[in-house]
Structure 1
Amino acid sequence: MDYWERLFLYNKKLLMPRVNQLLNWVMGINFLCGIVFLLTIVYEYGFRISAAEYNLIHTVYHTVWVIFLVTTTIQIVFRQEDSSFKFTPWTWILTILLYLTLLPVVFKKPEETTGVYWVWVFFHHAYYKGTILVLLSFSQLSGILVRLLGKRTNPSLILAGSFLVFILLGTGLLMLPRATYHGISFMDALFTATSATCVTGLVTVDVPSTFTLEGQILIILLIQIGGLGVMTLTSFFAMFFMGNTSLYNQLMVGDMISSNSLNSLLSTLLYILGFTLAIEGVGMVVIWLSVHGTLGMTLQEELFFSAFHSVSAFCNAGFSTLPGGMGNPAVMQGHNLLYITLGLLIALGGIGFPILVNLYETVAYYLQAGKFWLLRRSGRFRKKVHLYNLNTKIVLVATVFLLIGGTLAIAALEWNHSFAGMPVADKWVHAFFNSSCPRTAGFASVGLTSLSTQTLLLMVVLMMIGGGTQSTSGGVKVNVFAVVLINLWAVVRGTDRVAILRRELSHDSIRRSNAALILYLLLAFLAIFLLSMLEPEAGLLAVTFECVSALSTVGSSLDLTPTLGNDSKLLVILLMYIGRVGAFTLLTGLVRQEKKRNYRYPSDNIIIN
């Protein structure tokens, strides 16, 4: 055996295991540093700190920065192709941005008259360094969470557990001294954090008078996390900055976000985040234009108001920073554009991310076809026959029908009742707004207790139906409700096949839709039964409205929420959690799944009627 062969064997058998062990230690150190860094941020902005504590905090920041520089260098020097940490193009960009923070250390501060001075100031700024460290911390934490999927852990339990973790974190953050004006109890903080993370909107305290600006920022961050979905965010960070991880991870994440293939997994995640930020950004601008100079706010307050309500509406949360919510007298007149914008944002958030992706692909196809036709390019343009999938068609048709039908019904019932005295245009706008809110955003432009009983019953039905699957809304979902009605009509007609829009629905879709509706009704009845016992003085309609609103993550209430006792609050918290995570998700995670059997029992019929 020659020298090179012995060196190769030594490198593979003795050196490489130690290198892998070193890289695992580095990943563990990065994980701990990420946690320490984020906790230090919480301490700095959550408590009123002294000068000595301020210096200590920035010492921790500097230490974490140095450790990240050292560990990143080690990962670059000893990186391997088969390592669990893979350097993607975006990882290299983030690494370069991290190394650029060394420029102010290596080079002295230049004179202010030179153009290099502003470059030096930019890379020396605390916000720049802090942003890089936050991205590194989130990528490390996300990588750990996504790798849990590779341990063959039940993805349903991971999804439910991740929401629970964020609810508990949000509860602790909302109890920080700088988050509220006069403090808040644990139960009210838990209720608010659950309502925000589960994008519900029910509150036991008045948001603008209880929470400071820092507390309201925490609420809107919890809403954004809950609206996008914890696994969507963590999967994006893990795959964007750390590679595509294992095949099993990709399959699990793809199933959660309804990606068509593994090749389009990252692009689907980018679509989801891109659509969310783009729609919320446009909504923020329109809301700001509609309220600018009319509410007596400063420019900064108007921008925060616009951003808060845009995120709250698109995520179907229903939180508001106005006293009395959207029924505040300051916006009731002359702000029709505000209500229309919020209603459209609620509808877009409620149709679901897969439908938004499908609509984007359709628009891109038509633009490409138009470009091909205008430029008269040589070759043959490949036409698509089925631009919209069946799920998109069902959701869009059902959403339009429910919005128009609900608007007409509410306008007819409340025209001379709660809408009396309003101009005709305002009546139609408020009818549209109050028709879109029960699907599932808890805004209300008029007091719900002033509505007629028939309108409230209609809202209960709209809350039960909810929005599209894999959206920010709750309820049984319009997809499920549509399939149940289509199946009912097929049974009435005596057909053995359930078809719609020239497509036959699968047997599994029908079974799951019927089961989802029955499960929802059972949970709603059990909740109404228990809450009526816990709150005997409340009316049955108010109790029913509260339970359906919580289970459907709507956030509307007949003024019952602030009067609930602690036991009732815990019940409503559980309903909001189940409604956001999904009863099916919890059951499939807790109940052992049976293996597929290769035999069948003899079939028989049950007397139905």
Structure 2
Amino acid sequence: MTPHTELKYKIRQYYQKFQSFVKLSTDIIAFLTSFITLCLLIYEIGFHEDGKIHLFLLETYKVILRIFLYTGLARVLSDPQGVKKERGFWFEVVLLIALVFIIILEAWPAFKDALVSKHFIEVATYLLLSTISVIEFSKQIVTTLQRYVKPEMMFVYSFLFIILVGTFLLLLPNAHTYHLDFIDAFFTSTSAVCITGLTVVDTSTAFTFTGLIILVSLIQIGGIGVMTFTSFFAMSFFSQVSFRDQLSLKNILNENSLSNIFRTLFYIILTTFLIEGFGAYVIYNQIQDIPQHILPDKLFFSIFHAVSSFCNAGFSTLPGNLYNPAVRNLYGFQSWIACLVILGGIGFPILFNFGKLFIHYFHNALSRLKGNPIAHYGQFHIISLTTRIVLPITLILIIGGTFAFLFLENHHILQDVPLSGKIALAFMNAVTPRTAGFNNVEMTSLLPSTLFLILLLMWIGASPMSTGGGIKTTTFVVAFKNIVSIIREKKTVEIARRTISPTSIRRANAIILLSLLWIGGATLLLLITNPQAPFLQALFEVVSALSTVGLSLGLTPELNISGKIIISITMFAGRVGILTLLIGMIRQQPTQPYQYPEENVIL
């Protein structure tokens, strides 16, 4: 090695050490600054403050903006090639430009007054600080979790983390109108993140406008899925996402290829916001006749209920939920709520499947217009087996549930209701038990036979990869088809000319058995800790919690602390999945290179 080559090698080594030092330093500074910023923002949101404190915080934010700018520039200048390879490079460049612009405006008041208002500067400062802080803080958290946490448990811990954060935010003084106990805040946060809808306090009176914004944010994050948000966020802005985490995410999203993960995450978030936006618009038009003193902020009401409906949460800002006199007879409004619930509960794979089918037919029509009628006439297997299972069983449950409710309650609570109202009420009560939780009738007035019907619908629940819960429609169909195959003495389970894999059959049977065991155990514990609770009400609340439905016979608000904890744990288990929870907690046994002899057991 020549002296010149050796010198270049040493310079490269020193430069790499310098890059590592700068990266480590900027990461530590950015993380601490982000944490402080988030604490200050939460303080401003959650606590009452006077003018002096507000001015002090604004001056502090100016310093923080400069810290973010200097760390960002140091990161870019020390390793321009490495930063440029990051997926979120251009987004970071835009943030740096915005930081420079805001700092220049703050430094030259005359220039600032000539271009924008003081209010704009404050709003832009808050927006920039919150965006950069969340990105920088999340980078370090996700990187740390990737090193020390199993991918299977990332899904579980992400929900638990958001629940605890939501609990803390709901306990902020500006979030509630009267004293809120920790257990009540924890229960409400769990119910929102797990999109259940069970409540121990009156949502309409217990929370301020700030509290309701926190609540609907928790519903949105929990509905789409914490992993969906964090994974999309990570793959958009982070420099690296481990191959192990990509494989785990591939299994969660049921994708065939790793290359489709980011696109699927993007479509999930885009589809959610488009449907919720349309739902908010429709709901807003349906409630125009409600007096202003009853519904002062109709726009927020529409957005809240669109999110709550599509996410199958069942939360409402009205006292008494949808049984409130203001909306009790708005059958059009209730029908649209039910349609949003169906779209949220049918599952993203089925929605995307219809999207592919629409694109296929669109290309077909376009080709025929161009005079090329055979361009897209090939036989494509566009409709997946999951879609072929979900659509029929969903229609059966909705139509069958509607007619069953009509038949059972026609001469009871529906006796004095007009025909259009009977159909709307029956339709709503066939849809919402499958994990939505909106109630437009007095639940305690229903007949025992109707309550049993609702219990069955709650237990089956929605479809896989949806915003709903329950054992899932596909699980129910696969288990039912397995019974039919055994009766007919067939060796395989077949649906739509496809053979179901033994793994899917075993998984379906395990999910059903675990669900029944949890329902039985949780109901027993609830009856032990709350001896005054009637058996039917205790069973109903447990099934509602495990299936993340939110319907109640009025027992939940009367539970003691032990009962609230049991229901909270049940809601959490229902959202993340009992089987997923056990797989993540129990150490997996390595694959054995041998197999024991097979022998039949008397059953």
Per the alignment, residue 313 of structure 1 pairs with 309
The one of 257, 274, 280 aligned to 1:261: 257
Q: Is the CA contact 1:149–1:248 (under 8 Å) kept in the aligned structure 2?
A: no
Q: Within 2, Cα distance between the matches of 1:385 and 1:497?
A: 25
Change (3 A) 1:505 1:238: same
Query: Which residue identity lines up with residue 559 of structure 1 in the other structure?
Result: G
Q: Within 2, Cα distance between the matches of 1:94 and 1:354?
A: 34
Query: Which residue identity lines up with residue 250 of structure 1 in the other structure?
Result: Q
Q: Within 2, Cα distance between the matches of 1:541 and 1:297?
A: 39
Q: Within 2, Cα distance between the matches of 1:193 and 1:51?
A: 31
Q: Is the CA contact 1:88–1:240 (under 8 Å) kept in the aligned structure 2?
A: no
Per the alignment, residue 90 of structure 1 pairs with 91
Q: How does 1:521-600 map to 2 (within 5 A)?
A: 521-600=516-595
- The question of 1:429 aligning with 2:433 is answered no
Q: How many residues in Structure 1 have an aligned counterpart in Structure 2?
A: 602
- The question of 1:347 aligning with 2:354 is answered no
- Mean CA deviation greater in 260-269 or 147-156: 147-156
Per the alignment, residue 274 of structure 2 pairs with 278
Deviations 1:11-33 (A, max 9, x none): 32222022122112212222222
Per the alignment, residue 47 of structure 1 pairs with 47
Displacement of 1:340 after TM fit? 0.9
Per the alignment, residue 133 of structure 1 pairs with 129
Q: Is the CA contact 1:140–1:238 (under 8 Å) kept in the aligned structure 2?
A: no
- The question of 1:171 aligning with 2:172 is answered no
- The question of 1:470 aligning with 2:470 is answered no
Change (3 A) 1:94 1:357: farther
Structure 1: stretches of 5+ with no match in the other structure: none
Query: Which residue identity lines up with residue 166 of structure 1 in the other structure?
Result: I
Deviations 1:507-530 (A, max 9, x none): 100001100100000000001111
Displacement of 1:172 after TM fit? 1.4
Per the alignment, residue 511 of structure 2 pairs with 516
- The question of 1:74 aligning with 2:87 is answered no
Q: How does 1:229-308 map to 2 (within 5 A)?
A: 229-297=225-293, 301-308=297-304
Q: Within 2, Cα distance between the matches of 1:241 and 1:295?
A: 46
Q: Within 2, Cα distance between the matches of 1:19 and 1:378?
A: 59
Q: Is the CA contact 1:407–1:431 (under 8 Å) kept in the aligned structure 2?
A: yes
Q: Is the CA contact 2:102–2:121 (under 8 Å) kept in the aligned structure 1?
A: no
Displacement of 1:90 after TM fit? 3.5
Query: Which residue identity lines up with residue 35 of structure 2 in the other structure?
Result: I
Query: Which residue identity lines up with residue 310 of structure 2 in the other structure?
Result: F
Q: Within 2, Cα distance between the matches of 1:146 and 1:284?
A: 33
Displacement of 1:87 after TM fit? 4.5
Per the alignment, residue 182 of structure 1 pairs with 178
Per the alignment, residue 507 of structure 1 pairs with 502
Q: Within 2, Cα distance between the matches of 1:543 and 1:315?
A: 25
Change (3 A) 1:361 1:575: same
Per the alignment, residue 445 of structure 1 pairs with 440
Per the alignment, residue 221 of structure 1 pairs with 217
Change (3 A) 1:154 1:295: farther
- Mean CA deviation greater in 415-424 or 58-67: 58-67
SS in 2 for 1:338: helix
Change (3 A) 1:74 1:259: farther
Query: Which residue identity lines up with residue 226 of structure 1 in the other structure?
Result: G
TM-score, normalisation: structure 2: 0.95
Displacement of 1:59 after TM fit? 2.8
Displacement of 1:281 after TM fit? 0.4
Per the alignment, residue 599 of structure 2 pairs with 604
SS in 2 for 1:329: coil
Q: Is the CA contact 1:244–1:250 (under 8 Å) kept in the aligned structure 2?
A: no
Deviations 1:290-339 (A, max 9, x none): 00132425997000100111111111111100011100111112x22211
Deviations 1:58-95 (A, max 9, x none): 23322221111111111211226557965444343444
Identity in percent: 37
Change (3 A) 1:10 1:122: farther
Q: Is the CA contact 2:87–2:235 (under 8 Å) kept in the aligned structure 1?
A: no
Change (3 A) 1:302 1:503: same
Per the alignment, residue 21 of structure 1 pairs with 21
- Mean CA deviation greater in 234-243 or 319-328: 234-243
Q: Within 2, Cα distance between the matches of 1:138 and 1:183?
A: 30
Displacement of 1:398 after TM fit? 1.5
RMSD: 2.3
Structure 2: stretches of 5+ with no match in the other structure: none
Per the alignment, residue 187 of structure 2 pairs with 191
Query: Which residue identity lines up with residue 196 of structure 1 in the other structure?
Result: A
- The question of 1:101 aligning with 2:102 is answered yes
SS in 1 for 2:433: helix
Change (3 A) 1:52 1:460: same
Query: Which residue identity lines up with residue 362 of structure 2 in the other structure?
Result: L
Q: Within 2, Cα distance between the matches of 1:126 and 1:369?
A: 52
Displacement of 1:478 after TM fit? 0.8
Deviations 1:128-177 (A, max 9, x none): 23223222222223333443464262122222112112111111111111
The one of 434, 452, 461 aligned to 1:457: 452
SS in 2 for 1:454: helix
- Mean CA deviation greater in 230-239 or 481-490: 230-239
- Mean CA deviation greater in 98-107 or 306-315: 98-107
Q: Within 2, Cα distance between the matches of 1:316 and 1:378?
A: 43
Change (3 A) 1:85 1:387: closer
